Structure 1
Amino acid sequence: MSYKGYLIDLDGTMYLGSEPIEAGRRFINRLQENNLPFLFVTNNTTKTPGHVKQELAEKFDIHVSEQSVYTATLATVDYMKDMNLGNKVYIIGESGLKSGILDAGFVMDEVNPDYVVVGLDKSIDYDKLKIATLAIRKGAHFIGTNPDKNLPTDEGLIPGAGSFIGLLEIATGEKAKIMGKPEAIIMEKALEKINLDKHEAIMVGDNYETDICAGINNGIDTLLVLTGFTKKEDVPNLPKAPTVVLDSLDEWSFNHD
């Protein structure tokens, strides 16, 4: 079938680390030529949409608007505004997460925050975890930006935001409300932003556990491209098959019947 719009992952789909995936760039060019709306949907909270736009242009020759990037930070802001519990927040995270939340009108409060938001923070320390634990135990609404327990690096797998969230869940006895893929919130907000219903869009990505499960779990068709995390040999054993599996985005036709 033909889709009216595309939700697209970044790392492993458009590029792999610092290496461009040329088929990804060509895919975006074809979307633009066909005037088809698309939105990059990423769990990364360390970078602002403006930073992502700049990196795509400078490193990978992919030229899009800042409005084409929807991060777990933006999903967090939209969720907190919907909850309307107040404007005080304690944040564990890096500058992309902090600036995104504070620029939206929230203020930092270490003592009585309405929300505690936990993302990836490479300068995590005991004091930050203590402040978050006490605030959650006093009733602050506990939000995790994304569930990624590990990050792949050239040294191996290192702790991701999900590891810090898990520690605080144990320390507080509270489960975090997760914003990022594969959870519903980021997908529902992304569809609102692109102004499409679930059946009109397709989720494109390389990672079955996040990108493809985000589609499957939320009633959105999926395109798994084998350029990143999930390998060809994994496909026969996946719990539920993606709608489409491709070796390269060059193989995709925008007029599928």
Structure 2
Amino acid sequence: MYSIDFQKKKGFICDMDGVIYHGSQVLPGVPEFIRWLNEEKKSYLFLTNNSGSTPKELQQKLARMGLDVPEEHFYTSALATAAFLKSQAPGCSVYALGEAGLLNALYDADITMNDIDPDYVVIGESQNYSLNTITKAINLVLGGAKLIGANSDVSAPGEGITVPACGALVAPIEMATGTRAYFCGKPNPLMMRTGLRLLKCHSEDAVMVGDRMDTDVISGLESGMSTVLVLSGISTPETLKTFSYRPSMVLNGVGDIVRAAKGKLKTAK
């Protein structure tokens, strides 16, 4: 691991859950971090694997927490999924299990809903996941529909609990059909390349900040970015030891990025 000169970096891609907030609570140091990004005129993007919310809903969620971040600074696995399908099969139809973030992204990409003979079965985080919906999805895949997952995360932090994420919801469909899903979210390099393009930034000038080794750090590493693992979410110093790769830096939270940039960070774990 090595130190990053944050002042020289032009762009920051940040995960959200466990990095910016837990549930409805802003994490320590986040307001200072966002203020620093704006003051230093850094390009930044909040990039989340959670497919449930639209960028506008994420913008409003942060606004309720007292954080002013314009809508264009958000990119989700739902948008990545819709962009992938539009590039692969323009005008295709899907059977989708998901929330507003996924459904709106699909509609905006001119993709239609079809529960009879869709081209794709698309799974995201969903409150309507049930035996009936999973049975429907299984039989559509067995009938020839291709299986897509918004992201491969198997769990996510909730309000003091761990909740199943998209990867866990897709798994029964994979097992019942013998079909492997294609996941569009992190660590898929397509999502990271889109993020860098939105930042108008080269990978060597950008930093990936996240709380997960298996999605955030690996996606930044494989995209040629510097990587920061923050210990404010899923990962701990103990879980870090189980991976064969390492982030560029390990910090307690995003507030440490500001302190490091100003030369005031005394110790970094």
What TM-score, normalized to structure 2?
0.87
Equivalent residues of 2:153, 2:165 under 8 A apart: yes
Q: Does 1:48 align with 2:69?
A: no
Q: 2:67 aligns with which of 56, 59, 62?
A: 62
Q: Percent identity?
A: 33
Match of 2:267 in 1: none
Q: 2:180 aligns with which of 172, 175, 179?
A: 175
What TM-score, normalized to structure 1?
0.90
3-state SS, counterpart of residue 229 of structure 2 = strand
Runs of 5+ consecutive residues of structure 1 not aligned to the other structure: none
Distance 1:185 1:230 in 2: 24
3-state SS, counterpart of residue 29 of structure 2 = helix
User: For structure 1, which segment, 66-75 or 157-166, has the greater mean C-alpha deviation from structure 2 after superposition?
Assistant: 157-166
Match of 1:193 in 2: 198
Match of 1:18 in 2: 24
Residue 254 of structure 1 deviates from its aligned partner by 4.5
Output the amino acid matched with 1:51.
E
Q: Does 1:239 align with 2:244?
A: yes
Distance 1:12 1:70 in 2: 16
> Which structure 2 residues correspond to residues 111-190 of structure 1 after superposition, within 5 A?
111-153=116-158, 156-190=161-195
Distance 1:138 1:162 in 2: 22
Distance 2:226 2:144 in 1: 38
Equivalent residues of 1:89, 1:106 under 8 A apart: yes
Match of 1:4 in 2: 10
Match of 1:35 in 2: 41
Equivalent residues of 1:14, 1:25 under 8 A apart: no
Runs of 5+ consecutive residues of structure 2 not aligned to the other structure: 264-269
Residue 79 of structure 1 deviates from its aligned partner by 0.7
User: For structure 1, which segment, 9-18 or 122-131, has the greater mean C-alpha deviation from structure 2 after superposition?
Assistant: 122-131
Q: 1:76 aligns with which of 77, 81, 88?
A: 81
Distance 1:58 1:165 in 2: 32
Count of equivalent residues:
255
Output the amino acid matched with 2:24.
S
Residue 152 of structure 1 deviates from its aligned partner by 3.5
Q: Runs (4+) of structure 1 moved beyond 3 Å?
A: 151-158, 232-238, 253-256
Equivalent residues of 2:22, 2:158 under 8 A apart: no
Distance 2:91 2:143 in 1: 15
Quick one: structure 1 residues 145 and 57, their matched pair in 2 at CA, closer, same or farther if it must change by over 3 Å?
same
CA RMSD of aligned residues (A): 2.1
Distance 2:185 2:113 in 1: 22
Distance 2:201 2:248 in 1: 18
3-state SS, counterpart of residue 22 of structure 1 = coil
Quick one: structure 1 residues 251 and 153, their matched pair in 2 at CA, closer, same or farther if it must change by over 3 Å?
closer
Q: Deviations over 1:40-98 (max 9, x none)?
A: 01011111100000111112x22111110000001011111111253211101122211
Quick one: structure 1 residues 85 and 131, their matched pair in 2 at CA, closer, same or farther if it must change by over 3 Å?
farther
